[in-house]
Each structure stands twice: as structure tokens, then as C-alpha cells.
Amino acid sequence: MNTSTAKILMASVILARSTSFLFSKICLEEMGLFELLAIRFFLAFLILSFLYRKRMAASFGKNIILRGMALGTVLYLVMGAEMMALKESDIYLTAFLENTAFLFVPLFLWALQGEGISRKTAAAMAVMTAGVCLLTLKGSGNLHGAAFGLAAAFFYGLFIYLTGRLASGEDGLSLGIWQMGFMGLLNGISAQAAGEITMPSSPEIIGALLALTLLCSAFGFTFQTVAQQSISTEEAGLFSALDPLFATMWGMIFRGENPGLSGAAGALLVLLGMAGAQDGLLFKIRMKFRFLMKSTLP
């Protein structure tokens, strides 16, 4: 897969996964968070392992199992923190807090691999951070919700970093499927321990659960692993900034959320930060950035 195709796939993955905030919010009205995650990811594992059984058999080995276990464990932490944040916060606030993961990825690269942070990346991070701050000014979640959102961001940044490390030399699709299986297993154990053993009954909840399973999990998480084999870890972290933009849109359309003028300005800054990181446009728009900051802050 060439770099351009991988970037398109990564953007498609983020678009699909952005709907998970909306569908999860719906499911949490009736289901426990561990039960929801266990059903969602274990069903995705069963479907994908059947469709790609020959490919998984060909790549089967101790190495890919251990790597899938490691990635699945980190995803278990990401999703648990995300669900807790969604219980207490708006969709857009949870999405943007979690996706400050793009700030942690360069820090992981610096701390664990000794890679320096370029001026362009640092500037892009600053612009996107300002955007996130503007988007969360109207956040209705309490301190606990915000804390869980930031915890999800830390673990998601770690997941992006580890995927870049562990996917190398492995069949990306098979690795993504194995991480699904371990996600389902860990959440199933947690659901049993928490006594969350009730099946959804309403058509709305069942439909949202199927969307989470097929669109967000089977496609979203699995093919991120495939896409990251052809793009850099730093680029993958920057792509994650698209997730809250789309999630905010779904929240506004289907849940009536309103981030306000500061939220719209924040979304624009995130897009401008991504553009600057990708092709050097950041310094050309810095005067526009200063104007937006002055005109949109309440």
C-alpha cells in the first residue's frame, strides 16, 4: 500500500470511528460499559476471524498473539476510560479530550526513542491544543468526566505509539483482529466481575450496538493497524485530530449539542494545525490564528 492510499484509509478509519461516541452514548442508556465493550469487540473478532480465517492461519504464531494481547490490553484501557467520560460529558467534549492523544504521541517518541520534536510539529501541536481548549470551553462534564477523557487520551497515544512499533513485520489485518479478541475477553471478564450481564432489548440499542460492532470496531480499529504500516507514527497521531471534528458534527445533528462560537473556532484551529503539520502552511496562517483567538474567546 502506498502512502497516499494509506492516508486515505486512515482518514476513513477515523471517520467511521467518530460515530462510536454517538452510538456508545445511546447504548449506555441501557447497557453497562463493560458489557457493551465485550459484546462489541468479541462479535467483531468472530466476524473478522471467520472472514479472514486463512490469512490468520497463515500468520498465526506466538509473536503475533503476544503483540495482539499487548495492543488489546491498551485498547481495553482506552475504551474503559472513554466510556466513563461519555457517561458524564457531552460527546464533543469527550471526543476532544480523548483526542489530545496527538499531543502524547510525539512525547512518547521523544521519551522512549529519543526522537526530537520538530519546530513544525511543535507549532502544529500548539495550534491544535488551542483549538481543543476553545472546543472544551463550554464543556458540561464534571471533573471526573474530564479526568477520564484525559486518561483515554494518554492510553490512546500509547496505543498509536505501540501500533507503530508492533505492527512492523506482522500482517496488520491479522494483528488488528487479534487485538479485538483480547479486547472482548478482557471486557467480558470485567463485565462478569461487575455483574453487568444483561442483553439489550430495544431496537434502537441493538441497532447502535451492531453499528459499533461492524462500522466502528470491525472496520475502524482493525484497519488502523493496516494503514499505520504505510505512514509514520507521528502522522497517525495527527490524523486522530479528525476524530473529534466528526464526533462533534454527529453530536450536533443527532443529540442537539451546541459547542457554540468558541467550538467552531476551535474546530477550525485543529484543521489549520493539521494542514500546517502536513505541508508547511502553518506559518502562513499564523496571523489568521491570532485574529481568531482575539475574536472568538468569550
pLDDT in tens, 94-113: 887 787 776 777 788 888 87
Q: Mean pLDDT, to the nearest integer, of 275-286?
A: 45
Question: What mean pLDDT is reported for the chain?
Answer: 78
pLDDT at 294 exceeding the cut of 60: no
Nearest to 126 by CA among 109, 102, 92, 152: 102
Instruction: Please count the other Cβ atoms lying within 10 Å of the Cβ belonging to residue 258.
Output: 12
pLDDT digits (tens, 9 = 90+) for 69-90: 999 999 999 999 989 988 888 8
Cα 147 to Cα 81, 105, 142, 151: the distances in Å are 9, 19, 9, 6
Nearest to 82 by CA among 37, 125, 40: 37
pLDDT digits (tens, 9 = 90+) for 202-237: 888 989 988 888 888 778 766 776 777 788 766 766
pLDDT digits (tens, 9 = 90+) for 38-62: 988 888 899 889 988 999 999 898 8
List of residues 6+ apart from 189 with CB closer than 8 A: none
